[in-house]
Amino acid sequence: MLKKLVVILTLVMIVASCKDDSKQSKADETSETETSKTAFEDREIEEALFDGYFVKHSSGYDIALKNNTLYMLKANPSEKDENTTFFVDVIPKNGSLQNFNLPPSEVNFNDSLSENYNNVAVHKFVLPKVEGDYEIIVGQYDNVGRVWTTTIQSGMLGQDIHNYRNEYAKNIKSTRYLKEFETALAQGYFMMYPEGYDVLVNGNMVYFIKPTNIDVDVDTRFYLHVKFENTEENMVLDFNGRDAQIDQRLGSKYENFTVIRKEVPSEKKIVEVGVGQFNNEGRTWQVIYDLEKMYDNITYMYDNQYREYIQK
């Protein structure tokens, strides 16, 4: 009888354990889904700031605009800032005025972002589609009148003016570029090359790195030749360094660096990279790295070589 009781109790405990594991698994899946979602939304804001049109306001909200979507942002806003109604006037050159009054709660975007943006108020509004030239007036108003306004001409949107200059670096905890870069430093192959750029390879991401107080050339065209495991296929990538430069996106910690990031459009394992720069007269520097021979070789691991350049 006692043996039967022990067996029954053991079975009950196993079943309970399985249920707990199932609940934990579902909780983990939910957590991963939420993390993935906020990572996606964070990326949306980053692209609007770094790749879109950006204009700063001295007292009101800053404006970022990309893909016909307007973002209103302010670091450490006051209670009044967060509760004053927004307005957006869209004024076509040939057409009727469209006016939108936007209570902050209706356009709040922080709920969709990660904790990285806890110190920056972010509001989002999708603009109506307008044919031809138009003007946008954005601002807030209270019972007295308009508190602040910013005017944007549609013809200015494609120009390289009013670019975002990392104004929120001290308010945003991190960016995906910073996390990705520091993960690569911790896990990837790291090769120093005094005549050109140091190179960091992690997965399908290749970084060209130099402290900015060392003579570096960003304007001469870069090349990246890649060989993959178990295939004769080679990939040749030539690119403009300034188009791939991300040091500004890494925040103040890496402000003393030039960092160029190039993603290899393949999930295959990289076993060799050839890197360098070239002009009309030929290659200005070049080097080939056989990653297979570097496996488990601590010589090709980052070991805090940049400590004197990193800002604390």
Phi-psi region of 219 (alpha: psi -120 to 50; beta: other; left: phi over 0): alpha
Contact between residue 97 and residue 89 where contact means Cβ atoms under 8 Å apart: yes
**What is Dmax (Cα atoms) for the chain?**
92
Q: What is the pLDDT of residue 133?
A: 93
Strand partners, 108: 123
Alpha-carbon span 243 to 252, nearest angstrom: 20
Q: How far is 275 from 273, CA to CA, in rounded Å?
A: 6
Residues 126, 67 share a domain: yes
Which pLDDT score, from 0 to 100, does residue 216 have?
A: 84
Same domain as 211, residue 147? no
Are residue 185 and residue 100 in the same domain, yes or no? no
Distance between first and last Cα of the chain: 68
Q: Are residues 187 and 280 in the same domain?
A: yes
pLDDT at 278: 96
Q: What is residue 238's DSSP assignment?
A: E
Give yes or no: residues 294 and 237 share one domain: yes
CA distance 292 to 276: 20
Residues 119 and 194 in one domain: no
Residues 65 and 142 placed together within one structural domain of the fold: yes
The letter for the amino acid at 214 is I
Q: Comparing C-alpha atoms, which of 195, 180, 150, 157 is closest to residue 286?
A: 195
Sign of CA dihedral 180, 168, 56, 163: negative
**What angle separates helix 176-187 from helix 2-51, to the nearest 10 degrees?**
120
The number of distinct structural domains making up the chain is: 2
Residues 145 and 84 reside in one and the same domain: yes
CATH number of the domain enclosing 84: 2.60.40
For residue 160, what pLDDT is reported?
Answer: 62
192 and 141 belong to one structural domain: no
One domain for residues 180 and 146 = no
Return the ∠ at Cα 287 (arms to 281 and 289), rounded to 5°. 155
Boundary (domain end) residue, out of 126, 156, 186: 156
Asked if the structure places residue 21 within a domain, the reply is no
Q: What is the pLDDT of residues 122-159, one digit of tens each?
A: 999 999 999 899 999 999 999 999 999 999 998 887 76
Q: What is the amino acid identity at position 120? A: V
Contacts of 201 (CB under 8 A, 6+ apart): 184, 188, 189, 207, 270, 273, 289, 291
- pTM for the predicted model, two decimal places: 0.66
The parent domain of residue 94 ranges over 53-156
Rounded CA separation 130/91 (Å): 9
Residue 306: inside a domain: no
In a domain, 44, yes or no: no
Last residue of one domain, picked from the residues 124, 156, 188:
156
- 15: which residues sit within 8 A by CB, 6+ positions away? none
Within a domain: residue 295? yes
Q: Is position 101 within any domain?
A: yes
Q: Are residues 115 and 194 in the same domain?
A: no
Identify whether residues 230 and 190 lie together within a single domain: yes
Q: Is residue 232 part of a domain?
A: yes
What is the model's pLDDT at position 155? 83
Q: Residue 29 falls within a domain, yes or no?
A: no
Q: Which residues contact 146 (CB under 8 A, 6 or more apart)?
A: 87, 139, 140
Residues of the chain with pLDDT under 70: 1-40, 159-162
- Is 100 inside any structural domain? yes
Amino acid 178 reads L
- Which of 125, 156, 187 lies at the terminal end of a domain, its last residue? 156
The Cα–Cα gap between 270 and 261 comes to 16
